[in-house]
Structures are given as structure tokens and as C-alpha cells.
Amino acid sequence: MSATAPAAPAPGGAGPDERLRRTSPLRRLMGRPELGSVVGALAVFLFFAVVADSFLRAASLSTVLYAASTIGVMAVPVALLMIGGEFDLSAGVMVTSSALVSSMFSYQMTANVWVGVGVSLLVTLAIGVFNGFMLTRTGLPSFIITLGTFLMLTGLNLGFTKLISGTVSTKSIADMEGFASAKSVFASTLTLGGVNFKITILWWFALVGVATWLLLRTRAGNWIFAVGGGKDAARAVGVPVARTKIGLYMGVAFGAWIAGQHLLFSFDVVQSGEGVGNELIYIIAAVIGGCLITGGYGSAIGSAVGALIFGMTSKGIVFAEWNPDWFKFFLGAMLLLATLLNAWVRKRAEATT
């Protein structure tokens, strides 16, 4: 049996071409964006497993997963957008807008609930297209563009709801045709082994799987990393920068549509003022999961881990019977610690390459 031939020398006799070097499993692991968040998630899990007796119960873990999924459904597309180098400050209120459109259209038109769901999808995607189009055509920062959209949607949510319903909440659509089937898709409960799991957990897992495949196995994934690393350089090598960014904003809109339908069909009414501030939680989950503020680096799995940390922290405090007023403190501390850990891991990974 012949030995494997050595790597060909690089031009000029400088040694083997680094593209042909074998990368050890440890080095590949150190280079993963979500490594720091996984370590943080294990630490949070062990901490609450010790201080909260009920934390390890199956029902408690189901509650943690549900809390994580309500954030994770949005954290996944927000993470992809951040990898692409942009933000969306309208993501939180867009969830409420999606639910309001679905509810009010169905009620006012006395149509099958599924008609309202379909109209809501079109309207929500249109908001995503608007954000992406304004960003690519004006050249303004995404912070300014989406801040404007955030303020407009906040006003539209309240204004239209009061104009049509006379109050700040929508009318109940629980007795309308199609409500039961729509609830089974967006807000049902599955029972496995005697433990109840919300269907949003499945939506969350599905989005993580699709987003991971998109990032790592498709040309579009390469485009996302490229535009996040530098849009001018990406455009120079033929990447469709405008189309990629608009697609990313549509992805956030699609996540908002799913979250909005869950909100509607869980309670059958929607408060017009909901969602304000949630956009920061989505961004926090993505950052804890390893996404860089500057773009070009991160993963969908990391955003899922960040959302899981959020779920464990929010519910762990309750199971430990602590004052929930401390939740924001722990969330802020986790953000700082995870960001520092992610930066350290990234430096170590770069130092070993």
C-alpha cells in the first residue's frame, strides 16, 4: 500500500498550499460560531438544575422549550439578516401587525379564517420587501430604515385597530369557519409521553433546519456571508447584493407571519400594542448565539441556542421562585458574558489557523 502523497508546494517554494492542509476536528470545533453559546447554555442549564428543584421535570422542560420557541422562530431569520450585515428593528411589531391583519380581515370580511391568514402572509412579506427595497435603493443604514418602519407599524397597529374595532384589541374570531384547523397548524398542543409540547417548537426546529441548510449547502448561503463580509467586494464578484438583502428581509417577515399567527390563534384576539421591544430580544438571541454585529459571521444553530438560553433563564427564575424583576439583569449579564466568550473563541480559532 503506497503512502499518501505530500501536499504540493505552493508557488515560490513557500511550503504546502494552506488550502490543502488538513484541519483537525478540534480546530473545526473552535471555529464554529455557536461554540460559545453552547458552553453558556450548558452552564445555564446546570445552574438552574441545581438551584430549582422542578427545573428538570419533563413538564418544566416543555415550558422552557415553548418559551424558547416563541423567540427562536424570529431569532433564526434575524440571525440570517445579521449575518448579511443588517438589522430589523421592526421585527417585534411586525409580528403584531401580521396577527392584526389576519384577525381584522377575517372578521370584517366574514371570510374563512384561512383567507385572512393568506392576506396576512402577503401583507407581511410586502413589509419585508419594503424594508429591503428602501435599504438597497436609498443607501441609508438599516437602523434608520427599520426604525422608521417600526414607528409606522406601531402607529398603524393602534390606529387601524381603534378605527375598525373601536378598542385597542381585535374582536374574537374563535367562532369563525376555519379557526379550528388554523389553530391546529399554528397554536396546537402535541402530547408525547404524557408531556404537552406546543407546535411552535416544531416550527422552530424546522426553521433552524432549513436555515442551516440554506447557509451551508446553497449558493444563497454563500451570498449571505459575502454581503455581510462586504457588499462592495461581494458585488464585484457577481453576488446579487440587492436581491440577497431583500430576500433576507422577506425571511424576517415570514418568521413574523408564523409568530403572528401563533399569537392570534393562541388567544383569538390581539392587543394592538404588543410586540414593542421584542425586536431587541431577537437580536440578543442572535448575538448570544455567535452572530457578529458587523455581519459576515454566525449560524442559525447559534440563534437557536441563544433562544434556548433565553427560555431557560426566563423560566428558570420562575422555577427557582426568585423575583422575576431580576430577569432583565440576568439577560443582560448573559448577553455580555456570551459576547465576550464568543469573541475569545473566535480569536482562539483565528490564532490556530
**pLDDT, greater one: 143 or 340:** 143
Q: What is the pLDDT of residue 348?
A: 67
Residue from 142, 147, 100 nearest 120 by CA: 100
260 falls in which pLDDT band (50, 70, 90)? Answer: very high
- Chain centroid to CA 111: how far? 31
Report the distance separating Cα 304 and Cα 71, nearest Å: 9
pTM assigned to the model: 0.88
- Start-to-end CA span in the chain (Å): 31
pLDDT tens track for 84-109: 999 999 999 999 999 999 999 999 98
Lowest mean pLDDT among 19-28, 84-93, 303-312: 19-28
167 falls in which pLDDT band (50, 70, 90)? Answer: very high
In three state form, how does the secondary structure of 49-116 look? HHHCCCCCCHHHHHHHHHHHHHHHHHHHHHHHHHHCCCCCCCHHHHHHHHHHHHHHHHHHCCCCHHHH
Report the distance separating Cα 75 and Cα 288, nearest Å: 11
The total of other beta-carbon atoms located within 10 Å of residue 332's CB is 11
| Angle 225-305-335 from CA coordinates, rounded to 5° | 85
4 falls in which pLDDT band (50, 70, 90)? Answer: very low
- On the question of pLDDT at 229 being above 70, the answer is yes
- On the question of pLDDT at 346 being above 80, the answer is no
Residues 277-287: what's their mean pLDDT? 91
| Angle 157-189-93 from CA coordinates, rounded to 5° | 15
pLDDT tens track for 45-57: 998 999 988 999 9
Q: What is the DSSP string of 181-235?
A: HHHHHHS-EEEETTEEEETHHHHHHHHHHHHHHHHHHSHHHHHHHHHHH-HHHHH
- On the question of pLDDT at 212 being above 90, the answer is yes
Residues 182-198: what's their mean pLDDT? 93
**R_g over Cα of the chain:** 22
Q: What is the pLDDT of residue 23?
A: 58
Q: What is the pLDDT of residue 8?
A: 43
Residue indicated by cell numbers 501536499: 7
Report the distance separating Cα 83 and Cα 85, nearest Å: 5
